[in-house]
Structure 1
Amino acid sequence: MLIDIHMIQNHSPSNLNRDDLGAPKTCYFGGVLRNRISSQCLKRSIRMSEEFKDLLGGFRTRRLAEEISSRVEGDGIKEKVTKILKECGLDEKKNDTTKTAIYVSQKAINEMAKLVIEKLSDKQLADCFCKLIAEEVAVPDMALCGRMLETGVIKNTTVEAALQAAHAISTHQAVSEVDYFVAADDLPGDDAGAAYVDEAMFASACFYKYFSIDWNQLVTNLKGNEKLAAHTVGAFLRGAALTSPTGKQNSFAAHNPPEGIVVEIKDTPISYANAFAAPAPLAGSRDMVSQSIAQLGQYIHDIDTGFGGPKNRFWFSPNLRQKLEYVKDKKMETLGEQIESLNTLVERLISEIGFNWQDVQNVKIN
């Protein structure tokens, strides 16, 4: 069973995810340059969100030795931990950091800290550390996002991600702009000029976002804990809807929620990005959001007609201000169960999976 999530989200002027030159990220799609937000950026913003914080059971760091030793009192602890991690294939690079960022669970770190003070040989400690890093992975964020780790020593470290996330792309042609700005000196003296002058790139774009969650893989990664998996799905959906990337938000405050969300329960993943292979016109008879949703609705209908529809489909727009529709025989027809609040959307989705949202919210990480 797959849970596919599609979003139309219109952001005011912003620079949520920038490239090495500081400009908003872009890509070509349908022969046209589009604004883009990377999937890595989207996943991290959701994983670190307020909605997901109770399920954040792991973290990625190059300072694993420091994190473990901070939980243990005594002299020479950090040096000892560093030595043990090196035997696990996690060599230091410089400044007490490992060569690669290690994605590890909080539980594994706590257990490693306890073992440090036990009367064990370095070989025994290294074996225990390796086992904990490899096996203590049943936490929601790692179950969703997966883990790729190769040390040459620790075996079976890969966690197959239950989540697939597409790069968000603008439904229309990218139009980037330049903000010429100055910093004024509040005590200018004889110099009336600015204290600092610079330029910053930004853009305003309506994005299509797509996520696909493999329910069976998620349950497997969580060691069969279906209620925790249901909590994870609900928290992820809320995080995706209520969280935006943090890039330059202090300068732009582009905290714009989605205008529409399609959630489907199905067996085969289908991206609806091709609804925008022909970009929404920048100056059409409709506003950009309405045009994007109209193209999405018509494309979904075409896919349903050609390949069959999903088992369940829900359409959410705040207070149903937007409709997901398609044209048939010159009449407008709606798609999916119409939902006007995010809370109801989450409750309906979790109910269709077979659980009660109010109940599974109480399920925490072991």
Structure 2
Amino acid sequence: MVFLDVHAIQPVPPANINRDENGSPKTALYGGARRMRVSSQAWKRAARRELERAAEFQRSQRTKRLPEILAVDLLKRQPQLGERAAEVAEATVTALFTAKTPKKNGRAATEFLLFLGEAQRSRVVDVLLQDTERVLKTVGNTKEFTKTLNDLKLRDAVTNGHPPAVALFGRMIATDPTLNVDAACQVAHAISTHAVEAQFDYYTAVDDVDEAADETGAGMIGTIEFNAATMYRYATVDMRSLIDNLDKDRSFAVDVAVEFARAFLLSMPTGKRTTFANNTRPDFVLLSVRTDQPVSLVGAFERPVLAERHDGETVGYLGRSVSALARYYREQDELYGTTPAFHTASYPAWLTDGDEPGQIPGLPTPQPLPTGLAATRDALTRAIGTEHE
């Protein structure tokens, strides 16, 4: 077993990046204290978008509009299909995923989201165009059309060649579990290392025309709830599952895992981004390659961190959060008699109380994130090679 654990401590200024049904920032009770929380779903989507934006990987789409998109793809490749392209696309999605495609506002859509890579969708079109005559002849007969797709081995187009996003985050098709993909990645809900309180921004918007006419009063008044915190973020990648999901390609799996770590660390959910511009990056990163089991370090913050004080003044939560994590990291391995196969850390010099780069007890000497990612790539390659010897 080989796992890549990704830990981060990240300050987030006033923000509302992940809202609940009432528009309030999500929170959680942990250790008896109210914490700022960002759901795993929100950060997984942000990481997926960053992964596919920055890395030269196959793109993916999660959508209910696959019948419509597939019809467009068919028409681009074979314009003479005309209106029958939509008929073929809808019947294909229904037969392949056992998914109904009811029309809403004249547009066909499935009842649940389907997650495919763009290359997989292209292969579906390739298969349908292998024998267009037979496809068109049987499309109106569910039993015969399903037999046609089975003869053409259409399922192979979506059960192999998964894009990195599907391999990492998985796919669930409730109507046909044989098309499911078990996620190789786990992402925790990010929580603040300390207690938080709700805060409110009372704002007004000025009517420019009224202002020019010297009329008083605001054009609009409202409030936005927000909070601010230092957050602990954690994700882990099961390399064995990732290799399986990527057709046994170990080298590619290592590339995907490392790129995921980078994307996860540098991504940010976009809720209320234009209002708060909360575009921060982690001030502390710990990457750990383990061959025993994945280990979250959230227990370091079960007792809420108290704000650090210096010369009688509050100077924030970051330093104490990092110290608590480092101590817990060391004590966990001492307690269970385990040790990571490799670890690397990135953090600024001031966290070690000096102008020159120092080392926090229990952690490796800090290095820039690109250097750490490169070393992690080498460590994963070695660990996978040892596991399969």
TM normalised by structure 1 equals 0.88
Kept after mapping to 1: 8 A contact 2:352/2:360 = no
SS in 2 for 1:160: coil
**For residue 56 of structure 2, what is the amino acid of its counterpart?**
D
2: CA distance between counterparts of 1:26 and 1:91?
36
**For residue 71 of structure 2, what is the amino acid of its counterpart?**
S
2: CA distance between counterparts of 1:129 and 1:174?
55
Max radius of gyration: which structure? 2
- Root mean square deviation, CA, Å: 2.1
Shift of 1:304: 2.0
Q: Identify the structure with the greater helix proportion.
A: 2
Shift of 1:129: 7.8
SS in 1 for 2:208: coil
2: CA distance between counterparts of 1:292 and 1:3?
22
Question: Within the alignment, does 1:257 sit opposite 2:265 as a pair?
Answer: no
- List aligned pairs for 1:1-366, cutoff 5 A: 1-49=2-50, 52-73=54-75, 74-76=81-83, 77-88=85-96, 89-95=98-104, 96-117=108-129, 118-120=132-134, 121-122=138-139, 123=145, 124-127=147-150, 128=152, 131-132=155-156, 134-151=158-175, 154=176, 156-188=178-210, 189=213, 191-266=215-290, 267-282=292-307, 284-285=309-310, 287-307=316-336, 308-318=338-348, 320-323=349-352, 334-354=361-381
Q: For structure 1, which runs of at least 5 residues remain unmatched after alignment?
A: 325-331, 356-366
1:298-347 CA deviation, whole Å, 9 max, x = no partner?
A: 111211220132121211114x44349xxxxxxx9622332331110111
1:187-230 CA deviation, whole Å, 9 max, x = no partner?
A: 11464221111111111111101111111111111011112111
From the superposition, tell whether residues 283 and 180 of structure 1 become closer, same or farther in structure 2 (CA, over 3 Å): farther
Kept after mapping to 2: 8 A contact 1:323/1:334 = no
Kept after mapping to 2: 8 A contact 1:264/1:313 = yes
Kept after mapping to 2: 8 A contact 1:133/1:157 = no
Match of 2:356 in 1: none
Kept after mapping to 1: 8 A contact 2:55/2:259 = no
> Which range moves more in the overlay, 121-130 or 165-174?
121-130
TM normalised by structure 2 equals 0.83
Kept after mapping to 2: 8 A contact 1:175/1:203 = yes
**For residue 263 of structure 2, what is the amino acid of its counterpart?**
G
SS in 2 for 1:322: helix
SS in 2 for 1:340: coil
**For residue 82 of structure 2, what is the amino acid of its counterpart?**
D
1: CA distance between counterparts of 2:303 and 2:58?
39
How many residues in Structure 1 have an aligned counterpart in Structure 2?
Answer: 345
**For residue 99 of structure 2, what is the amino acid of its counterpart?**
L
Match of 2:142 in 1: none
1: CA distance between counterparts of 2:55 and 2:110?
26
2: CA distance between counterparts of 1:125 and 1:245?
43
User: Among the aligned pairs, what percent are the same residue?
Assistant: 26
Shift of 1:262: 1.0
> Which range moves more in the overlay, 343-352 or 132-141?
132-141
Kept after mapping to 1: 8 A contact 2:327/2:362 = no
From the superposition, tell whether residues 132 and 182 of structure 1 become closer, same or farther in structure 2 (CA, over 3 Å): farther
1:235-263 CA deviation, whole Å, 9 max, x = no partner?
A: 11111222111111111111111011111
From the superposition, tell whether residues 244 and 204 of structure 1 become closer, same or farther in structure 2 (CA, over 3 Å): same
Q: For structure 2, which runs of at least 5 residues remain unmatched after alignment?
A: 76-80, 140-144, 354-358, 383-389
Kept after mapping to 1: 8 A contact 2:123/2:157 = no
2: CA distance between counterparts of 1:208 and 1:314?
17
Shift of 1:36: 0.3
Kept after mapping to 1: 8 A contact 2:26/2:37 = yes
2: CA distance between counterparts of 1:3 and 1:306?
21
2: CA distance between counterparts of 1:133 and 1:198?
51
Kept after mapping to 2: 8 A contact 1:317/1:323 = no
1:60-84 CA deviation, whole Å, 9 max, x = no partner?
A: 1000011111112232211331123
1: CA distance between counterparts of 2:271 and 2:293?
33
Kept after mapping to 1: 8 A contact 2:28/2:34 = yes
